[in-house]
C-alpha cells in the first residue's frame, strides 16, 4: 500500500491475521469483527425517505476473495458499494473495512482507509479534462504526494501493469476505446496499491473480447497483488471464471451467498430467473457438471 506522507495512525491488521477463515453470509455470521475480513457489514438498513433499499444486510468478505454481487437494477448494489467506501452512511448498522469501523472515522483514518481501497465506479470513470497520466496520478496527488519523479515512476508502472503503452499516457479520455478507459480506470484504482478493490460493473459496455481481456487482466493482477475484490456485476462469465464468492441482493436482502455452486442451488425466484435462464444454463452447464459433488 502506498503510504501518505503524513503521520499515519497505527497500521492496519495484516492479511495473515486469521488465514482461511470461512466465508459467511446472512445466516452464519461470526461473533466478532475479526480483522481477517476485508469487509464486514452488520445489520445494514438503508432508507431514502419512505423508500427502503436495504433491510438488515449482513455480509462478511474474507481477505483475498473475489466477491461478485448480483441483483436487479435498482436493488441497491451501488448504494451498498458506496457504503463500503464511506461515501454513503447506512441508516442503521455498521460497516467495517479491514477490521476498522467506518463509524466516527477521524480525518487521518479516512485517509488511511482511502489508501486501502481502490474504486472503479459504474459511471464517470475518468476526469475528461485530465489526460491519462494525470487521471492515474490523481489519487497520489490527493494523498499529498508531491515527488513528481515518484509519481511518474508509479504511473508508468501501472500503465504497463494494465497492458497500456507509455504513449497512451498523453491521451485524453475522449480518445480512448471502452476497453482502454476501463484499463485506465483500473490503473487509477490500483495506483495506491490498495488491499481492497471495489468495482461497479467493470465490464459493462465492453464487447465480449474486451470483456474477456479485462477479466484475464484482473485475474492476473489479483494473483500478483493479492488484493480482495468486491465487484458488482451481471456478467455470467465473470461470475463463473473469476469470482470465488457470489452474493445475491433481492427483496432488499442478501438472499444467497457463497461459492457459485452453492448459490446456483438457491430456490429464490430472482436466483432462478438470473441463473437458470437459457443463456445462463449454457454458461453454467459445464461448470455445474465439473463442480458436482464438490459443494
Instruction: Return residues touching Mg ion (CB under 5 A).
Output: 78, 122
In a 10 Å sphere around its CB, with 0-12 CB exposed, 13-18 middle and 19+ buried, how is residue 280 labelled? middle
Measure the CA–CA gap between 129 and 285, rounded to whole angstroms. 46
Measure the CA–CA gap between 109 and 254, rounded to whole angstroms. 29
| Per-residue interface string for the shown chain with ligand ATP, residues 9-48, x marking contact by CB under 6 A | ---------------------------------------x
Residues 104-123 that bind ligand ATP (CB under 6 A): 122
* Binding partner of residue 76 among ligand ATP, Mg ion, none, CB cut-off 5 to 8 Å per kind: ligand ATP
Shortest-Cβ-distance residue relative to Mg ion: 78
Q: Does 170 sit near ligand ATP (CB under 6 A)?
A: no
Find the helix or strand (DSSP H, E) in which 42 lies.
strand 37-48
- Grid cell at residue 166: 507509455
Handedness of CA 81, 275, 47, 37 (dihedral sign): negative
Contacting residue, 73, 106, 165, 267, with ligand ATP by CB under 6 A: 73
Find the helix or strand (DSSP H, E) in which 75 lies.
none
* Binding partner of residue 71 among ligand ATP, Mg ion, none, CB cut-off 5 to 8 Å per kind: ligand ATP
Measure the CA–CA gap between 167 and 72, rounded to whole angstroms. 39
Number of residues engaging ligand ATP in binding (CB under 6 A): 11
The strand pair at 117-120 and 196-200 is best described as: parallel
- Grid cell at residue 157: 508502472
Contacting residue, 4, 35, 76, 139, with ligand ATP by CB under 6 A: 76
Q: With respect to ligand ATP, which residue has the nearer C-beta, 78 or 181?
A: 78
Minimum CB separation of residue 91 from ligand ATP in Å reads 12
Q: By the criterion CB under 6 A, which residues form the site for ligand ATP?
A: 48, 53, 71, 73-79, 122
Amino acid at each position: 500500500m502506498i503510504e501518505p506522507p503524513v503521520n499515519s495512525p497505527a497500521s492496519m491488521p495484516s492479511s495473515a491475521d486469521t488465514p482461511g477463515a470461512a466465508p459467511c453470509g446472512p445466516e452464519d455470521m461470526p461473533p466478532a469483527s475479526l480483522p481477517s475480513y476485508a469487509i464486514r457489514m452488520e445489520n445494514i438498513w438503508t432508507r431514502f425517505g419512505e423508500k427502503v433499499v436495504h433491510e438488515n444486510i449482513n455480509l462478511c468478505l474474507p481477505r483475498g476473495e473475489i466477491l461478485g454481487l448480483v441483483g436487479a437494477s435498482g436493488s441497491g448494489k451501488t448504494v451498498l458499494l458506496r457504503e463500503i467506501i464511506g461515501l454513503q452512511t447506512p441508516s442503521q448498522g455498521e460497516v467495517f473495512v479491514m477490521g476498522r469501523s467506518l463509524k466516527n472515522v477521524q480525518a487521518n483514518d479516512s485517509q488511511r482507509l482511502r489508501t486501502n481501497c481502490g474504486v472503479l465506479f459504474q459511471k464517470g470513470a475518468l476526469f475528461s479534462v485530465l489526460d491519462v497520466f494525470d487521471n492515474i496520478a490523481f489519487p497520489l496527488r490527493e494523498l499529498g504526494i508531491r515527488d513528481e519523479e515518484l509519481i511518474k515512476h508509479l504511473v508508468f508502472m501501472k500503465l504497463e501493469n494494465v497492458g497500456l503503452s507509455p504513449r497512451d499516457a498523453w491521451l485524453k479520455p475522449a480518445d480512448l476505446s471502452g476497453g482502454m478507459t476501463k484499463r485506465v480506470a483500473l490503473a487509477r484504482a490500483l495506483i495506491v496499491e490498495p488491499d481492497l478493490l471495489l468495482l461497479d460493473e467493470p465490464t459493462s459496455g465492453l464487447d465480449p473480447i474486451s470483456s474477456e481481456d479485462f477479466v484475464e487482466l484482473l485475474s492476473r493482477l489479483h494473483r500478483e497483488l493479492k488484493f480482495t475484490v468486491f465487484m458488482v456485476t451481471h456478467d455470467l462469465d465473470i461470475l463463473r471464471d473469476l469470482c470465488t464468492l457470489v452474493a445475491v441482493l433481492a427483496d432488499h436482502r442478501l438472499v444467497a451467498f457463497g461459492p457459485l455452486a452453492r448459490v446456483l442451488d438457491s430456490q429464490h425466484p430472482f436466483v432462478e430467473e438470473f441463473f437458470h435462464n437459457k443463456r445462463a444454463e449454457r454458461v453454467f452447464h459445464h461448470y455445474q457438471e465439473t463442480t458436482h459433488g464438490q459443494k
